[in-house]
């Protein structure tokens, strides 16, 4: 693994653990086992390195989500699979937490990957919920776009509640709660596609 690679990965970790304001170039260098000069050779400074780290985390989050979204099963089953997927709940969402970092939100370049990731996620959920509705898995009275925002918010808020409590429980309760609400809106067993 190259030095630049190690610097990016280390920055991703520290951004996740301590946020942008709480992460110093020095801390990155020490954990990555790189000197000052090395870091400034590969990156112009803290914002440049953070941009590389944030972009990679955003890509990773989308790729992981696509694993469940593009998997087998009905639309509602794929949504359920995504919501119930294993997560490092107490560490929080590596992208969502950047939202609370004033210096990240103040810089359009750093902010863009965050904005785009949630816009993508919302679009993906809206499409899946529309599919579920059209297949009769979900009540037609529900607005897919609003429900999509609700589902994404439950995950992000679940992380907040879990960290406040110092326990995974509130996160899982929130997820099961929204699944219960969605389940009650099923109108009929989903028809099989192939006949």
Partner DNA sequence: GTCTATAGCGTGATAGAC
Partner DNA sequence: GTCTATCACGCTATAGAC
Interactions with a copy of itself, residue window 158-177 (CB under 8 A)? 158, 160-161, 163-166, 170-171, 173-174, 176-177
Nearest to 61 by CA among 22, 87, 23: 87
Q: Is the Cβ of residue 43 or residue 125 nearer to a copy of itself in the bound state? A: 125
What is the Cα–Cα distance from 66 to 102, expressed in whole angstroms? 29
Q: Provide, rounded to whole angstroms, the least separation between the CB of residue 50 and a copy of itself.
A: 15
Work out what residue 46 binds among DNA, a copy of itself, none; the CB cut-off runs from 5 to 8 Å by kind.
Answer: DNA
Q: Are 155 and 88 in contact (CB under 8 A)?
A: no
How buried is residue 47: exposed, middle or buried, by Cβ count under 10 Å (0-12/13-18/19+)? middle
Q: Please report, in angstroms and rounded to a whole number, the separation of the first and last CA atoms in the chain.
A: 51
The residues that touch DNA, with contacts defined as CB under 7 A, are 2-4, 23-27, 34-38, 40-42, 44-47
Identify the three-state secondary structure at position 3: helix
Q: Report the greatest alpha carbon distance in the chain.
A: 65
For residue 87, give both structure tokens: 């997560």
Helix and strand numbers (H, E) in the chain are 9, 0
Q: Is the Cβ of residue 37 or residue 70 nearer to DNA in the bound state? A: 37
Q: How many residues in the shown chain lie near a copy of itself by CB under 8 A? A: 57
Sole binder of a copy of itself in the list 37, 70, 72, 180 (CB under 8 A): 180
Under the criterion CB under 8 A, does residue 114 sit at the interface with a copy of itself?
yes
Under the criterion CB under 8 A, does residue 135 sit at the interface with a copy of itself?
no
Angle, in degrees to the nearest 10, between helices 169-183 and 75-84: 170
Interactions with a copy of itself, residue window 17-76 (CB under 8 A)? 17-19, 21-22
Under the criterion CB under 8 A, does residue 149 sit at the interface with a copy of itself?
yes
Q: Which residues bind a copy of itself (CB under 8 A)?
A: 17-19, 21-22, 92, 96-97, 99-103, 105, 111, 114-115, 117-119, 122, 139, 141-143, 145-158, 160-161, 163-166, 170-171, 173-174, 176-178, 180-182, 184-185
């Amino acid at each position: 693994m190259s030095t630049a690679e190690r610097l990016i990965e280390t920055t991703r970790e520290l951004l996740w653990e301590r946020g942008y304001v709480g992460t110093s170039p020095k801390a990155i260098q020490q954990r990555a086992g790189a000197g000052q000069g090395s870091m400034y050779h590969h990156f112009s400074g803290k914002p440049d390195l953070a941009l590389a780290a944030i972009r990679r985390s955003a890509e990773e989050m989308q790729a992981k989500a696509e694993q469940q979204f593009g998997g087998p099963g009905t639309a509602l089953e794929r949504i359920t699979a995504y919501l119930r997927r294993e997560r490092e709940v107490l560490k929080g969402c590596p992208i969502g937490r950047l939202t609370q970092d004033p210096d990240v939100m103040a810089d359009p370049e750093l902010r863009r990957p965050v904005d785009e990731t949630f816009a993508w996620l919302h679009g993906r959920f809206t499409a899946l919920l529309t599919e579920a509705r059209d297949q009769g898995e979900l009540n037609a009275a529900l607005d897919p776009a609003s429900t999509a925002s609700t589902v994404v918010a439950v995950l992000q808020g679940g992380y907040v509640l879990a960290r406040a409590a110092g326990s995974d429980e509130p996160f899982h309760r929130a997820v099961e709660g929204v699944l219960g609400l969605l389940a009650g809106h099923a109108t009929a067993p989903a028809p099989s596609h192939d006949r």
